[in-house]
Amino acid sequence: MNKAVFLDRDGVINHITKEHDYIKSWGEFRFYKNALAGLRLLARSEFLSVVLTNQRGISRGLMSENDLYNIHENIQKILGNDRIRAFYHCPHGYGDNCDCRKPKPGMFLRAAQDLHIDLTNSFMIDDAQEGIEAGAIAGCRTILVLTGRGKKQVQFVENWIHRPDYILRDLDRAIRFIHSQKTI
């Protein structure tokens, strides 16, 4: 079985816009400082890198699936040989009652089946409660990063049912922390 590091995208890999917690096009995409270094280190590790991202902008008509695929293709081009193994997304809105929108673990379960991933030996890195909760429900260890929504949400962690296992500054620090663990 494979081990994975599941990554939220908006707010973890890239900046979010002031109007939304997500971006709608490649023109809005800006990597966080050191995110590329973290992604490249992850690509060279024993972990698969898998992006799991809620993209309600699709259901709201603010972007298309093709816009989303264009963003992911451009990320892969920039990463070159250090590509992300897979991207999974939920196009649904809050009220759609799907099984894939975080905090539900549907994207984790689908990725685990598709890529033969042992969820209990995997990590989830997110900047928000929904991703931390979904990762915990799926059986992963969780890391809240203080980028994106994380810097605001960290003040409420004590009230969460599923608290993050670790809280770290950014994606690069989180990947370096995972890479340094000798017991994994």
pTM exceeds 0.75: yes
Domain count, the chain: 1
Out of 10, 126, 127, 170, pick the active-site residue: 10
CB 110 within 8 A of CB 102: no
Q: Which amino acid is at 111?
A: A
Whether residue 82 lies in the annotated active site: no
Whether residue 118 lies in the annotated active site: no
| Model pLDDT for residues 49-99, shown as the tens digit of each residue | 999 999 999 999 999 999 999 999 999 999 999 999 999 999 998 889 999
Q: What is the pLDDT of residue 182?
A: 57
- Kindly report the CATH number assigned to the domain that includes residue 91: 3.40.50.1000
Out of 8, 126, 127, 172, pick the active-site residue: 8
Q: Which helix (DSSP H) or strand (DSSP E) does residue 162 occupy?
A: none
Task: Find the domain containing 156 and state its range.
Answer: 3-180
Task: Return all residues near 76 (Cβ < 8 A) that are at least 6 apart.
Answer: 83, 84
| Model pLDDT for residues 142-174, shown as the tens digit of each residue | 999 999 999 999 999 999 999 999 999 999 999
Q: What is the pLDDT of residue 184?
A: 42
- Indicate whether 32 pLDDT > 60: yes
Q: Which helix (DSSP H) or strand (DSSP E) does residue 165 occupy?
A: none
| Model pLDDT for residues 112-123, shown as the tens digit of each residue | 999 999 999 999
